[in-house]
Structure 1
Amino acid sequence: MTTRKAIVPKGMEFVRDEIGYAPGVLVGSTLYIAGQIGRNSERQLVEDKRQQFIQCFENMKAVLNTAKMSFNDVVEVTSYHTDMRDLPLYMEVRNLYFGDCLPAWTAIGAASLCGIPGYFLEVKAIAVKG
């Protein structure tokens, strides 16, 4: 039987307790990472666009680390953008985290994210351990 485990990094407990979902779910050796947004550890929107993109990946990194995984284990990424003209910035920041080990990627335009103005990016991913 395949095991299923909620992955909740320290500081993200409110997502589970208040909003009602896990930042990640580990099923066997596959980790499903919920959409990560540019919200810092104080639960505040990071307003600078580049720093917001970095925060998305830092939040993803926290989920990966809690599952004892890394960006090298990520096989698929889906990114949601409120402005598709931000793709060059997204790719620049993404490459800081993935280097030469690039996953499959789908980019989707979105009218808004979280129903809150100011969010420019949301990123979800699938990682496979090993």
Structure 2
Amino acid sequence: MKMRDVISLGEEQVNYEAYGYSPAVRSGGFLFVSGQVGANGEGAAISDPVSQFRQAFANLGGVLEAAGCDFDDIVDITSFHVDMYTHFDVFAAVKQEIFPSRPFPNWTAIGVVNLADPDLLLEIKAIAKLP
């Protein structure tokens, strides 16, 4: 039996071949989702922070869906924030839209200097229990 089963979204195949980037990996009854950012379909960061944070969660949702999961299956999220204190309350409000009621997933928030694109403010990675 394979230790890892890669979840592919089709358009990510180029990144998989070039950089070894997997959007998510199934292993041991869990789904490990790589960091998702608030970029549009062309890969450009969305400038408005609220829209960028919502898009990051939408992109996370797309990976979850491709693996047969949804936000209710998430047990752990890690968020990486550029200029964390400037946008933290805005992020928390968007996160509350995604996880409106208890039980909330485990959450670790980390402040970082920058991300892959200088216009990105956030990256979210997650672990979900496979249904």
Alignment partner of 1:125: what SS? strand
Q: How many residues align?
A: 129
1:63-111 deviation line (CA, Å, top 9, x unaligned): 1000000100000011011122212111111121222141000110000
Q: Which stretch shifts more, 54-63 or 43-52?
A: 43-52
Report the CA distance shift for 1:87/1:62 in structure 2 as closer, same or farther (over 3 A). same
AA matched with 1:36: Q
8 Å CA contact 1:15, 1:23 repeated in 2: no
Counterpart in the other structure of 1:9: 9
Alignment partner of 2:61: what SS? helix
**TM-score (normalised: structure 1):** 0.90
**TM-score (normalised: structure 2):** 0.89
Q: Which stretch shifts more, 63-72 or 17-26?
A: 17-26
AA matched with 1:92: A
8 Å CA contact 1:38, 1:55 repeated in 2: yes
CA distance in 2, matches of 1:23, 1:37: 12
Counterpart in the other structure of 1:95: 96
Counterpart in the other structure of 2:107: 105
CA distance in 1, matches of 2:70, 2:10: 17
Gaps of 5+ in 1: none
Counterpart in the other structure of 1:23: 23
Gaps of 5+ in 2: none
CA distance in 2, matches of 1:30, 1:67: 10
CA distance in 1, matches of 2:33, 2:12: 13
CA distance in 1, matches of 2:3, 2:19: 24
Alignment partner of 2:17: what SS? helix
The CA RMSD measured in Å over matched residues stands at 1.6
Q: Which stretch shifts more, 53-62 or 5-14?
A: 5-14
Alignment partner of 1:55: what SS? helix
